[in-house]
Structure formats: structure tokens, C-alpha cells
Chain A
């Protein structure tokens, strides 16, 4: 690698020495014919810059002096200066904009003094000449130009337009954009396009593009409007639809058939895009909801399948997982701030092990004695859930915990319409898939999984052939609790984390287990997907509550048909 770089440097050196830059480059690519052509263009460009740049510079200098003169003139000429400053913001070079920014600001603040030698900008660090930037003090007897209401508005626009291009802080540029947005029609059309092009902040750039498009839509030139329509229908969303719909009332819509066609086509395209986006968004939301349901339910399913015990404290295991994640985050903040963004990954073993330990303790102390009394174990686990909620409430307080949003779960990619492929949901989905993979692997490929399956199918028989049933129970309970802890971790960045959070999942995840059938991973997956998607599909029609009611009714009805759930292990019905 080093040798290669070295030889590259040498060849570049030789290129400079021989002056045969293009020749060498294109010779290597084997495109001899274009060499002369390119060389010619290159030379022409150099000539152009050499001849024209100084003259441009001179022209700018002359323009500035002229502006300074007008700045110290009457109200009408001040207005001209305001418009010219807006023009500079849109068309001027970077140098010109840097020059104009303090001048425009100073006029508004009355920090500009006109004297016999020109104009002086008074500032805290020392006054300087407005034209030449040289340090100097204003000559006695100077006066500040006075802005009337109309000119003040003009200058404020100019300051905002300049800030849009030159301000270093994105929030300042955002504020400037909001000021300018309201009067976009009166501004040079390409101001926003130019600003959007050089904008570094993605969100702000999207806003700028939107404003630019809106400005182009209302421009006087029909060709430009049609062009803007085409561009706007390439990114269909609800905002674009309202913008384009408003054009139907435009006089040009009735008068110009070509414009009418363009508007109609744009509306159709945008509506198609929005529908596609809505469908995708519903599917995506359903998938992410299903993955959360799955993670909350898989631990429950393992435990229920194995021991016939419904663990009402499972929601609290989720809560503990989220709290452990938070503690890992706070620990990293103190000890290794550089790793703070990775707390979600680092917390994975911690969340799993802590909740698994809590689960094992719960099993050993309490549930071990209740295996033949499943209804009592319901009450016992509820007592544990009550205890844990209040313990956490007393220790940490009831307020929601604050989580850092790491860069890998922040933001999203707008796909089509209003559908944004958000990374935090993707994180939940990916995490659920990972959990599924690990659980499946554990259950299918390890001796523990084999034992768990054996005890699930026939506890007595498994005991007879020498499987340590009690130990399998304990391990499985730990596994189920640990999986719930992982669900808590996945929920941490997308859900409000407080002592009560587990309560919201518990009934939904029971429904998943009951619907999926006892002790089958496939059943849990299918039930979670089904409930998640149905919920999300019904929600926009009748609301979240109706969705829950309908889903529950469907589950009860379904249990009529298959009382043991979707994927029951075949056996005799009692």
C-alpha cells in the first residue's frame, strides 16, 4: 500500500514537471483520441479565468462603491441597495456575500455611519470601512442612514437571505429560511435552489428544496411552472399534493391547456405515490409492531409451553431490561463517553444476564413450589410484578428515562409518499430477527434446547429418561426472562421507559402466546405478525381501541375453532 502511494506521488511529480497531465492520464486509460480535445478545453478554461476573473473583480469593486454611494443617499436609493443585497445573496460570489452580510446587518442596527470618505461600520471589535474593510474611525459629522418601514422590511429580507447562504449555524439558517418562506414569491427564484445546493444539513436541505419548488410553482414563466410540477411530482407527499391542488384554482389552469394537463398529471402521480407510500408505511409499522410483540411474547411462550405457568411479571422483565440498558448508558457516559453511542450494543449481554438472573431467582424462590397450581402461580407472579414496579418506582422515580438516540437509530430514508424508512423501527425489526435466530438456534441445536423441548412435550416421560427436569425449568425460566430483557433493550430507544411500561405489553403478548399455541416458536412468530398487521390495518379505519377490541374478538372466535392455538403440538384434548 505504502509503496503504491509512493509511486503515485512520484508519478504526479513527474506529471507536473513534464506538464503532460492529461496525456499520461488518458494514455493509461487507453483513450488517445480525446486527449487533444481535452487539452484544448483545459487551455480554454484557463484562458477564460485569466482574462475574465480580474475584470469580474473590478466590476464587483465598482458595484460595491456604487452601492455605498446609494446607501448614503435618499430612501429610494436605499431601497435599491436592499434589492441589490438580496440579488447578491442569490447570485453573488461567496466573497461578495461575505462582504454584504455585515453591511446589511449594520444598516438595520444603525451601526453604519456615512461620512465624507464613504461609510463606516461600527462594531464592538473596532470600526472598519464598509467598502474596503480597512480599520478606520468615522469622520466627525457623519450620519446613519434611516430606514423607513418599507426599506426596513427589504433590509430584513436581505439579512435573512444572506444568512441563509452564509450563516455558520444550521439553526440560524433554519430561522432565516422560515423568515424568507413567507415572502418566497417576491425573491429571486434560484435563491433557495442555490442555498439548497450548498446546504450541508439534510433536513434543512429538504425544506429549502420544498420552498424552492413552491416558489417555482408560482413563478410567472409557464415553462418554469411545468418544470416545477414535474420535479414536485417526483417526490410525492401530502404537502406536495396540497400545493399542486391549489393550482387548480389558478387562472392559468383554465386558460392554458398545457398547464392544465401538467397539473392533472402531477396530481395523479402524487396521489399514486401517496397511496403506495401509505400501504408501505402500514406494512412497515405492522412489521415493527409485530417484532416488538414477538420479542415480548417469545420468552412468555417458552415459559408457558414448558411449565404451563403464565408469568404475569414478564412485562416487568421487559421494564428491567430497559432500565439495565439505561444504567449501561449512564455508566458509559461517566466512564467511556466515546462509546456512549454504542450503549445499545454493549448493553445486550447486561440486559440479558440481569433479567435472566431475576427470572432464575423468581423461579427458585417462588414458582418452583407452584408447578401443580398454575392459577396460584398467576397470583404469585402478579405479586412479583407489583413488587418490582414499586421497587423501581421507589428507586428510580416515576418519570420517563432519557435515552440518547445513537446515530444508527436516528432519522430515516424517505422512500415514497409519506413513508419514511425509519432506522429506529428497523433496529427493532432487526433485533427481533436476531432474537428469533438465537432462540431458534438455542432450541434446535443445543442440548438445553433439546431438553426444553422434551420436557415441554411430556414432563413425566422426560423425567423418566433422566432429563433433570427441575434444572431445565430453571434454565428455561432464565432464558425466557432474558429474552424479555432483550425486548426491553430494543424498546428503549423507541418507547417511553418508566416503571409502568411493562403493563402495556403484557396482555398483547398473552394474546400472541394464546393464539400461536403453546411452546412453538413458529406459532409465536406467525401470531405476532398476524396480530401486529391486523392491528395496524384496522387502526386507521376505526382507531387504536377498536383495533384492540376487534383483534381480541377475533382471537376468542379463533379459539373456538382451534382451542389449542395455531400450531399446537398434537395430543389428547382434556
Chain B
């Protein structure tokens, strides 16, 4: 509860405070202070100290998994602010509004990690998405940004409509006439038609939100058109929060009848992995390549839904969320500092900026899934969940083949960084401050730490 209320309050504070701030550089310090307060409040709530005691009549349920997810999201947002805070000022005029919108997104994410009723699922999804529509188009003079924003808004609104229809069908179909997700949990072999239809619609709507194929078509254009800082935020935090909601919904409501919808998820996962990985190989722009690869990472996270009744899949989702977010935030932080986003733009980065090159390589190795990085332990947990489940082993083998193709496009960038000569005219001047380098080192160190001892994050679920 702390997180939900504090993020909402701080969003309002930043929005109105922006009127009184004279300098353009101050909002980011307010934002960093705010996210720190919210993070500490969330951790306090994890250990039992809640500031606000509001009776939600069981509509919100705070368990260790949800609060831990919140913490991961807040730490990643903190990293974005620390790494890219000054880049927010380059987007447009109204700097503090961008930060306040991000806090509203975080409010939506906090609701999604702890909802217990379908109404709050809808509220959370909307609070998450609507500020993102605005943020996508916040660079008003950029035509690609306008296109991205409109696409996102239309697709998002459409998928929310599907979500509402699904919710309505489930409400009508379940015998208790209830919105509470644990009340819908019907036993095996008991699937009335209305609930089946509602389930499929919910599945489709949530797949839209997490950009799973074949509902992913909005993602590359939206991620490519949005300002890079916002892309970095959307690709990680918004997707991860949507996955938390997806997992929570399906585990509590439909977990017992998993065999009914497991094949659907298997097909979606296979399509997502194939489409994400194969199209990413052909991209010439690193930003677009990362956008497509984020679709493939969504495919890996879908595995946790595929194996939803295994205890390890919860660990896997949390770990994958953390590992993928850290690595993506890190690599985007480096991309944002460059003017040219093509793969050739990375040529010779090892000579121009050795520390940036080293951390970029660590982030790319983590995204590929090389041991010693968090990306490997995350993929390992996810694959372990799928194998433990035991059905559809062909899907696991397909996943590793796709992971190997992932190496192709990530290593193209690594090769450009270290083994190719810099091209004149592309990214000649990369200006970074010392604190930026320190933050990159800290992010890379976190990735390696989680790569060696994933228990540091995952064991807290069982607190």
C-alpha cells in the first residue's frame, strides 16, 4: 500500500512542483529523492511496517512476491534516473511532467503487483498505460514519436477493450458472481463456456500488453519512435509490471485448469521466440534490434506462465525481470549517449571509451545468457521451470535454439565494439560524466552478482 499511495502523491507533487521550479535541472533530483523514499517505504512494508492502513476489502493482497517485484521495479527506475536523468531534459520543455508521468506509471505497476480483483487489474493496466501513451509522444516535434504514440494508444485502447470484455465474461460466468481472482479458481475439468471465452480474451489482452506474438506488432515501432529514455523505461519496467500482473492473474485464477490453456501459451511462446529472434538478426539499428530482442525476452518470460504451477517459475520470473531490466537499462544508457544508433556507430568503442565498452559487453553478454551474468541464471531458472513441468519439451529445445540465434545479433555489437576500427563521422564525441561511469559499473556489478548468487534476490520470496 505504501508504494501505491506514495507514488501517486509524488506524481502529483512533481506535477505541481514543476510550476515553481526555475531551473530545468532540478526536477531530476526531486525524482531521485522521491524514488528513494518510495523504495525505502516499500522495503519497510516488506518487513511488515505499513504506513497506511486502508481497508481495501480484500481487493489488494500484499505478499512477498508482489512487494519484491515492486522493489525490483523501483530499483530499476532509480537506476534510470541516475543514469539518464539529464537526458530527460533533452526531450522537451516540460521536464517535471515527464517525471510525474513516470511516477504515475509506477503507481499502476504497484497496483498490478498486488491486485486481488479483476477491477483493480483493469485499473492498474490503465494507470500503467495511459501515462506511457503520453510519454511516447512527448517529443512533439519528432514525427516518429507522434506515430509511435498514436499506434500505442490505439492498440492499447483496443486491448483494454478486450480486457474489459474478458472481465465481464468471467464475472458473468463464475458461479459466485465475483470479481475476486481467487474466487474464480475453478477445479480441474470445470470450465464453463463463458469462463473459457473470458480466459482467452484475457490471455489476448495481456499478451498485447507484454508484446507477445502475434500481438507484438506495435512494439518495434513504439519502442523505436519514443525518445530513448522512455523506450528504456517502457521496455523494462512497463513490460515487467505487465508480466507480474499476467502471472498473478493466471496463477491465482486459472492455475488449477492449466492443462486447458497450456497449449495456447506454448504456441504464443514459440511464435514470440521465433519472431523476436529471427527479425532481430536483420536489424541495422541497435535500438530497433533491442526492441525486437525485447520481444524475444518476453517469449522467455512467457515460459514462466507456461509452467505456472512450478514453484521455480515464480523465482524465474522475478530473476528474469531483474536481469533483463538491469541489462537493458545499462545498454540503453550507453546508446542514449551516442548520436548514431547503427551497429557501425559502435565501431571502435573499445578504444574511444574503454569503460563504456567493457560495461556494454557485460550487458550484452547478460542479454545473450552467458554464465557469470544474471542473464544466464535467469534463463536457467526459466528453462528449469519449463523442463520440470515436463510437457512440450520441444518448446524448450526451440527456446535454446532461439537463444543461440540471439548470440548472433548481440555479438555483432560486441564485435563492432572491440574488433572493428572506428568509422569517422559516427559518434566521434561521446561525452560522459564520472558519475555516469560509476553508475554503469554499479549496474554491471549487480548483474555479475546476480549471476553468481541469484539466491540473493530469489530467496526473499520465501521470507
A, B bound? no
